[in-house]
Amino acid sequence: MMRDKQTLRVVLVLAIVLVLAIIAYWPSLQGGYAFDDYNNIVFNTAVHPQALDWASLQHAVESGPPSGARRPLAMLSFAVDWYLGGGDPLRMKVVNLIIHLINGLLLFGLLRRLCASLPSRPEHAHLRHGWLPLSASAAWLLAPINFTAVAYIVQRMESLCQLFVLAGLWGYIAARARMRDGKPGLLLAVASIVLGTVLGGLSKESAVLLPVYALIAEWLLFAFARQDGKTDSRIVALFAVLLALPACIALYWIALHALPAAAWVERPFTLGERLLTEPRVLWDYVRWTLLPLPGQMALYHDGIEISRGLFTPFTTALAIVAMAAAFIVAIALRKARPLVAIGILWFFAAHLLTATVIPLELVFEHRNYFASIGLLLVFFAIVLPHEGARLPVLRSGLCFAIILFFAATTWIRALNWSNPLLQALNEAKVNPHSPRAAYDLANIYMVLCQQPGNSQLVPTAFDALQHAADMPGANMLPEQATLLLSSYLHRDPPAGTWQRMQDKLAAQPLSAAVIDALAKLSTCTMEGRCAFAPQDMRGAFQAALTHQPPNTRVLSIYAGYAYNTLHDPALAVDLARQAVAASPQDLQMRANLIALLSASGQQEQARTEYEKAMKELPEARQNGKFRALLDKSTTKALERAEP
């Protein structure tokens, strides 16, 4: 009877927490798309199916982020959402919130199983039967650090991935607890890790860290032991297979894709500078997780100072020393406070992909969707009162207060995300040194001033674009937007716009966003919507091509512009040949060259290049679209090709 009452009380409190999470996120459901939502969803026609037939869904599954990653389950979910909701972001945000609530329930189950699996010692009794799972799950559901993983639509990739990770980790710990009690569980343990990793990986690559989380729990809870206390060779073999082979593959990938300097040409930092900067970023994550002040939380954190050396800034060395100290603390407390040790190690393990050698951007809050579990586990394992603890009322009050504080801060963030303009205004206010936030606000004004009845916003839009362009570290996107807006309004752009854009193209790394912006200028001209002077466009392309080695996408875009706008087939073919020479293994560059040769009447040379590609590139022989390339008529060069 007592157990039934306790269970009912837990279910009631958990239901209240779920309702509170819905209330906290509710205002954000009325908001719109943001940042990467556009390239991955809004502008990605592959996830805009006209019917839910096999061909359409397969096309959606095969699409992915501009980075080239394939996340078929997440992309499929976007396609279904778009078909059912007609592109309404409300539906997508509701689905994201539902996934988040399910994850909260999975986390509660995982933490209950984790606490119940602690070694049978008197000092662990309060954790085995206490309120820690409920408190930590409630705080995690409401934590502002997780807000962008829910309200930022494209980050369904992260939350959906972690759904399978949480389920897999729960299954593994439950299976090992059964095995420790002498019951069968090996098959469940293997299936939980393998299926959790595979299914999670269909949404995002961070699922590959599930075996690492399981390894940490195994070491600190079960010590690789059987029921009799002896080492279980099956578990040792399981982790040897799950970790050793992937580690070798990862090292091979790093050697090919992270160590070469060419991997970092799109970033304003080197591999070494990234490794020096990330320890500072991790401590920012700790601060934003445990003390999330509204004025510090933002979608963009691109104003962070890059560490150029151990003491530049001086906090770099302090952050590295503090990281080492945290690892020492975790090892020292592994027996007396295993949950604290697990929490610390889970936090750092969660950043093995995003805070190390992969050439990603430096900071995003959604990368803490799993990592925040570790920090909250540490907090509640230390603060929650237990029998004989000092100041129990104060401890309980602090735990309750932080959950309410999280809820209030998340609700404030949700209010700020309730419409695109309010969101952009808040982001620019919270992060005044962020060029990206300034550009987003300017872009919102630019869109609004083009709507009927909003012509009074035109000066505001130009002023905002100028402010964004003048910010330290700003790329050429504000200048590009200024040119497009000026063209739309049939007026000359502000003096110096082209020159400033060309200077930035020559001086700054060519990121994917910058190249896309250059492509939009070219497309606008080719479609007759813009009347940019040829010398200005040439100057922009030539500035971008001062980087060495030349960017193949820039060469390809310039080739299309040369053929379709300048009507200069010779220049177009020459640029396409340069692109092939710069990237001879790129089938798309070969296709572009063949299309240009064919379109300009050089059929014999097109045939020669076609046969050369078929001989040199095995994938050419397997690509039906490429094999049929010469059989298609060409009305516009590169119309079929993606630069």
In this structure, what token pair is assigned to residue 615?
Answer: 């001989």
For the cut 60, the answer to whether the pLDDT of residue 18 exceeds it is yes
| pLDDT, tens only, 188-199 | 999 999 999 999
Print the SS3 string covering 413-451. HHHHCCCHHHHHHHHHHHCCCCHHHHHHHHHHHHHHHCC
* Beta-carbon contacts of residue 150 (< 8 Å; ≥ 6 apart): 25, 28, 96, 97, 99, 100, 159
Nearest partner of 35 among 139, 152, 144, 136, judged by Cα? 152
Backbone angles phi, psi at 359, to 5 degrees: -75, 65
Does 602 or 2 have the greater pLDDT score?
A: 602
Query: Rounded to an integer, what distance in angstroms lies between the CA atom of residue 9 and that of residue 11?
Result: 5
Mean pLDDT of the chain: 89
pLDDT digits (tens, 9 = 90+) for 217-226: 999 999 999 8
Instruction: Indicate the pLDDT class of residue 638, thresholds 50, 70 and 90.
Output: very low
**Token match 């980075």: residue?**
67
What's residue 178's pLDDT? 93
Residue 302 to residue 281: CA distance in whole angstroms: 11
Give the pLDDT score at 183: 92
Closest CA to 410 of 104, 88, 36: 104
The structure tokens listed for 11 are: 């279910």
pLDDT of residue 122: 56
| Six-digit token string for 397 | 């009050």
**What is the DSSP annotation of 273-310?**
HHHHHHHHHHHHHHHHHHS--TTT--S--TTPPP--BT
Matching residue, tokens 């990121």: 511
Q: Is the pLDDT of residue 637 over 50?
A: no
Structure-model confidence comparison of residues 417 and 616, the more confident one: 417
Q: What does the alpha-carbon distance between residue 271 and residue 307 come to, in Å, rounded to a whole number?
A: 11
pLDDT bin (cut points 50, 70, 90) of residue 387 is low
* Model pLDDT, residue 641: 42
Q: Which residues contact 307 (CB under 8 A, 6 or more apart)?
A: 273, 276, 277, 280, 313, 316
User: Looking at residue 53, what is its pLDDT?
Assistant: 87
pLDDT reading at 460 higher than 80: yes
Q: Which of 34, 46, 76 is nearest to 203 (CA)?
A: 76
Mean pLDDT of 633-642: 40
Percent of the chain residues topping a pLDDT of 90: 61
pLDDT digits (tens, 9 = 90+) for 82-118: 999 888 999 999 999 999 999 999 999 999 999 999 8
Q: Is the CB of residue 334 less than 8 Å from the CB of residue 341?
A: yes
Q: Taking the CA of residue 38 as centre, how many other CA atoms within 13 Å lie in the half-sphere pointing to its CB? A: 5
Q: Give the single-character DSSP code of 356.
A: T
